[in-house]
Amino acid sequence: MSEAPDHAIAAARVFDGETFLNDRTVLLRGGRIADVTADPPTGIATTRLPPGAILAPGFVDLQVNGGGGVLLNDDSSLAGIGRLAAAHRRGGTTALLPTLITDTRPAIARAIEGVAAAIAAGVPGILGIHLEGPFLSPHRIGIHDPARLARFGEGDAALLAGLGARGLTLVTLAPEEVPPGAVADLVARGVRVCAGHTADDGAAIRRALAEGLTGFTHLFNAMSQMGPRMPGAVGTALGDGHAYAGIIADGHHVGDLQLRLALTLLGRDRLMLVTDAMQPVGDPGGSDGFTLFGRRIRRDGDRLSGEDGTLAGAAITMIEAVRHMSRRGGATLAQALAMASLTPARFLGLDGRMGRIAPGYDADLVALGPDLTVEETWIGGRVSAAGRRGNTVGPARFAPR
């Protein structure tokens, strides 16, 4: 090494993005990982994790509607996006896409500029934006506001791609609700496209895949199911062989058997954990629910629903999805951790800088206790949360020694 490390983190178990390593020290320099070694140098300030703790890559969440009392649709200010990101850091997420659910074109433009401002200001963990809608099927609308659905027209590709090189853009749309060539146009503008909230029998989705669509949003939910002759969105996702899929492992959106099936067919390399989280996450005042576009949303533990029982996003952080997937969804802990970090990073084209604990990678890390609770997170090598008590600013739970 040409320069001495800034500091180090020592752990009895380190998950490097692929496998577990025993008794390793991770050396950090300039916000990146300088080395991972079993023979640490002396004279470096070292944070030593207690026995039973795990050091893993920080989680990457592609679908975060809200958190900390903030819904991106309602508040795309710098402060609001900062609160949203901070709420999810307490659940181990160190990189995310704030997600705008179906809204008007002016609201889309405001959200894009708000996210651009957050990135420019260095709000930790903000990678870009996920625009979920408004070009969705009215037959698979879920909790989205049907009055805000729109037809894809001239200028919409430029609108959706408005973040440009300032950050990453993911768009969820129903392929049957956009004209041929629309997906190809978005992809040519640097946008990643997922199918979601779609009633298509599979034909329009296959066309979109040929145009560059690469993923499916919250697999099984708000999409056409597989039938005996028509694959629907679910069958197409499971049988494509190349596309990725996000899945909500919260015990409400998808049954445990379906989680196991999806993992068997897609594997940890293409199945990604997402939270689809709403504003009550990390908000002490959000226990009674909230209002979404004039509709009252009830909260029952970590289940959110409208008065008619329609699910309305989730009230979990990523560590809860990891716990559910590894305890009930058929995944090993290594698979679940990869599904929360390396796999979404790879989907976004960022697997050369995040999702692994290896030299040259961003020092975005999470320390997990033996019971899979988040004890600490680091972004760029800096402590960014103080674990299970929910502090977003404060001293490290594991002090350097």
Domain 7-54+360-389 has CATH 2.30.40.10: yes
Domain with CATH 3.20.20.140 in the chain: 59-347
**201-210: long-range contacts (C-beta < 8 A, 24 or more apart)?**
201/230, 201/231, 201/232, 202/230, 202/231, 202/232, 202/233, 202/235, 202/236, 204/174, 204/175, 204/176, 205/175, 205/233, 205/236, 206/236, 207/175, 207/180, 208/175, 208/183, 209/236, 209/240, 209/242, 209/243
pLDDT of 288: 80
Residue pLDDT, tens place only, 9-25: 999 999 999 999 999 99
Residue pLDDT, tens place only, 115-131: 999 999 999 999 999 99
| Consecutive H or E run containing 385 | strand 382-385
* Token couple for 237: 């996702």
Residue pLDDT, tens place only, 200-243: 999 999 999 999 999 999 999 999 999 999 999 999 999 999 99
User: Is 286's pLDDT higher than 80?
Assistant: no
pTM: 0.94
Domain with CATH 2.30.40.10 in the chain: 7-54+360-389
59-347: CATH, from 3.20.20.140, 3.30.1360.100, 3.30.1490.190, 3.40.1190.20? 3.20.20.140
Active site residues: 276
Average pLDDT over residues 179-192: 98
Q: Look up tokens 């946008």; give the residue.
A: 191
Q: Look up tokens 């795309």; give the residue.
A: 76
Count of residues making up the chain: 401
> Torsions phi, psi of 35, nearest 5?
-170, 160
Closest-CA residue to 235 (of 258, 268, 255): 258
Residue pLDDT, tens place only, 93-105: 999 999 999 999 9
Written as one letter, the residue type at 58 is G
Q: Look up tokens 């674990």; give the residue.
A: 387
Average confidence score pLDDT of the chain: 93
